[in-house]
Amino acid sequence: MAPPTIRLNTGQQMPQVGMGTWKLDTATAADDIYNAIKAGYRLFDGACDYGNEKECGDGVARAIKEGIVKREDLFIVSKLWQTFHAKDKVEPICRRQLADWQVDYFDLFLIHFPVSLEYVDPSVRYPPGWFYDGESDIRVANVTNQETWTAMEGLVDAGLVRAIGVSNYQAQTLYDTLRYARIRPATLQVELHPYLQQTEIVRLAQAEGIAVTAYSSLGPASFVELDMDRAKSVTPLMGHPVIKAMADKYRKSTAQILLRWSTQRGMAVIPRASEPEFMAQNLACTSFDLDQVDMDRIAKMDLGLKFNQPTNVRGSPVCLPQDPKR
C-alpha cells in the first residue's frame, strides 16, 4: 500500500515516507534506487553534496524505461550546496543536478545549509564539499540567505523546480526568510529523532504552513557510520530499551517505531536503506499507530543531542576553522 501524502503549501502531494540517499555508495546507488522504486518508494531525497546524483538518476531512468513508473509518479528532492549560493550560480548548478538525475524538473529543491561558501567551479571539484582547497580551507562567501532565496524563487519561475524549501534552518533564519519570501518555503528539513526533538521549530513551521521532513530519524545510527564519538557514546535508539519494549508490544521493528513517532506527528521521513528488508519495513511505518502513552514516553527522551553538526566530526570535511580539534 502506498504511504500517505502530505499536502504542501504549493498544492503538491508529497509522499510522507521516502528514501534518503546520503552515503548510498556510487557502486550500488542505481540499483538501490531502482529496487526502492520496485518496492513502492516514490520520494527520493538527494543532494549535490552526496556525490551520487548521477547514479541515483541512472536508477530512476531504468525504472522509467522499464515502465515501472512515470516521471510524474515520482517526487524527486534535491539540494543546493553552499558554494552555489550566489545568485548567478543557482540556476546553472540546478540544471547540472537535473541532468544528473536525468529529469527536467525537481519536485522540491532545498537550500541545504543557510551558510554560503566561496564558489568552487564544478570543473575543479564536484561535489565541492566544505573546503575551498578540498582539504582544510573554509571560505565563507559574502552572500546573504535573501539573495539565495530570491534565486531559488527564480528556479520556480523558470519551471526547473515545482517547490522550494530549506534545510538545517533554525527559527531565526526561518522567520527572516518569511519576511522577504515571494514564494514561501514548502518544507523545512531538519535532523529529528527522540534525542533531538526540535519541538519549537516544528511547531513554528507547522503553524506557518511549512511541512517538516525529519532526517536521520534513526538517530545515532547514521553517525556511528562516520565514527563520530558523540554518536558512539549514547545508547543506539534502535537498541534503546524503551523503543525495544514498544517494538515488542506493536510487533514492529524498532526502526518502524522511531519512524512512526515522527509520521504520527504529521512529519515526513526519509530513512536510507539498501537492504530490501529494511526498505520494506521503513515504507510500511505508517501502517499502525502508537498510543498516546507511548508517544508521551518517547517525548520524554529528548536530550537536545544534535549529530549532524559541522564541528562534530573530528578531522573530517565538516570541521570549522574555530574547532580546537582541528
Q: Which residues are catalytic?
A: 50
Residues in the chain: 326
* DSSP secondary structure string for all residues of 182-227: SS--SEEEEE-BTTB--HHHHHHHHHTT-EEEEESTTTTHHHHTTT
Q: How far is the CB of 286 from ligand NAD (least distance, A)?
A: 14
Helices and strands counted in the chain (H then E) = 12, 10
Pick from 202, 273, 283, 284 the residue near ligand NAD by CB under 6 A.
273
Q: Which stretch binds ligand NAD (CB under 6 A): 145-153, 171-179, 194-202, 270-278?
A: 270-278
Given a contact cutoff of 8 angstroms between Cβ atoms, the answer to whether 113 and 120 are in contact is no
CB of 76 to ligand NAD, least distance (A): 12
Q: What does the buried/exposed string (b/e) look like for 130-149 if buried means 16 or more CB atoms within 10 Å of the residue's CB?
A: bbbeeeeebeebebebeebb
Binding mask 60-99 for ligand NAD (x = CB under 6 A): ----------------------------------------
**164 φ/ψ angles, rounded to the nearest 5 degrees:** -125, 150
Q: Is the dihedral of CA 248, 251, 252, 257 positive or negative?
A: negative
- The answer to the question of residue 286 lying near ligand NAD (CB under 6 A) is no
What DSSP character marks residue 129?
-
Q: How far is the CB of 221 from ligand NAD (least distance, A)?
A: 4
By CB under 6 A, is residue 57 in contact with ligand NAD?
no
Nearest-CB residue for ligand NAD = 20
Q: Which of residues 215, 240, 257, 290 is near ligand NAD by CB under 6 A? A: 215
From the CB of 67, what's the least distance to ligand NAD, in Å? 27
CA distance 47 to 97: 8
Residues that bind ligand NAD (CB under 6 A): 20-22, 45, 112, 167-168, 189, 215-218, 221-222, 225, 238, 253, 255, 270-273, 278, 281-282, 308
